[in-house]
Amino acid sequence: MVYAFFISHWLLCVFFQSFFQHRYAAHRMYTMGPRTERVMHLLTYLVQGSSYLSPRAYAILHRQHHAYSDTEKDPHSPHYYRDVLRMMLFTKTRYEAYVHEREQPEPRFLGGYPEWNLVDRTLARSWPMTFVWIGLYTAFYVAFATAWWQFLLLPIHFLMGPVHGAIVNWCGHKYGYRNFPSSDRSRNTLPLEFLTMGELFQNNHHRFCMSPNFAARRWEVDPTWQVMRVLAWLGVIQIATPQRAVYPDPRPQHAGEPTHVEGQTA
């Protein structure tokens, strides 16, 4: 029971991060009606709970990551930090500066992401709500755990969003294979991408950053894209970008190819 909860929470959290914060808020790869957007926004909060990430701050940091990939201005390049913890602490500081609007980014990184004060300010920034989430995860373990060491999994539930961010941002620019040469150091870490729902196809995604399918080769599988295809077929979302990742690269010399923040609507 505990394992089923852990695996479902892991996969759902990373799915909503990929589907809502990444492909919708940061890249605007698809559109949906205002009511559907609210439902998805609320579902993202309910699934991510204590580790919910503001779509606005996520989009700003992520657009900076595409614009300045693996340079000093990249908010989370593994090549500028001694270990993953230092990288994540730095990213957290930047993230909080945008959440609390202590810092303003370049105007080109602003706009086009969903904003909902009730969720993003009132609920997500409330300490009592954070304790409610932590209490709920703990209560589940108290009810169903069958060995003491299973409780060691609890902190991962509390910090699920940052844990996924650490894995994707660290491994995705450090370990794995490259399909496309690029100035950044992005890599595809896992050809069968169920652990992070497609997010570790970083090399494909940096080359075709407006492709809603992060898989490029025949044997690569991007689970989030498979869900999106079903949602589009059902009419829940409308895919807004014609770009698709393809291998081999039809235009290996892609100087001048826009590499960031296309899809931004502001």
Contacts of 129-138 spanning 24+ positions with Cβ under 8 A: 130/50, 133/49, 133/50, 133/158, 134/50, 134/158, 136/49, 137/49, 137/50
Diameter of the chain measured on Cα atoms: 58
Q: Under the criterion CB under 5 A, does residue 202 sit at the interface with Zn ion?
A: yes
Nearest to Zn ion of 179, 202 (CB atom): 202
Q: How many chain residues interact with Zn ion (CB under 5 A)?
A: 1
| Residue 65 phi, psi (nearest 5) | -60, -40
Nearest to Zn ion of 5, 80 (CB atom): 80
Nearest to Zn ion of 17, 202 (CB atom): 202
**Segment contacting Zn ion by CB under 5 A, of 71-79, 129-137, 201-209, 239-247:** 201-209
CB of 145 to Zn ion, least distance (A): 36
Q: Under the criterion CB under 5 A, does residue 189 sit at the interface with Zn ion?
A: no
- Rounded Cα gap, residues 215 and 226, in angstroms: 10
CB of 175 to Zn ion, least distance (A): 13
Identify whether the C-beta of residue 241 lies closer than 8 Å to the C-beta of residue 263. yes
Nearest to Zn ion of 91, 202 (CB atom): 202
Nearest to Zn ion of 48, 202 (CB atom): 202
Q: Under the criterion CB under 5 A, does residue 64 sit at the interface with Zn ion?
A: no
| Residue 239 phi, psi (nearest 5) | -65, 125
Nearest by Cα to 30 from 229, 226, 175, 198: 229
Residue nearest to Zn ion (CB): 202
CB of 63 to Zn ion, least distance (A): 8
**Segment contacting Zn ion by CB under 5 A, of 71-79, 149-157, 198-206, 223-231:** 198-206
CB of 138 to Zn ion, least distance (A): 33
Burial of 135 (0-12, 13-18, 19+ CB in 10 A): exposed
Identify whether the C-beta of residue 42 lies closer than 8 Å to the C-beta of residue 55. no
Contacts with Zn ion by CB under 5 A lie at 202
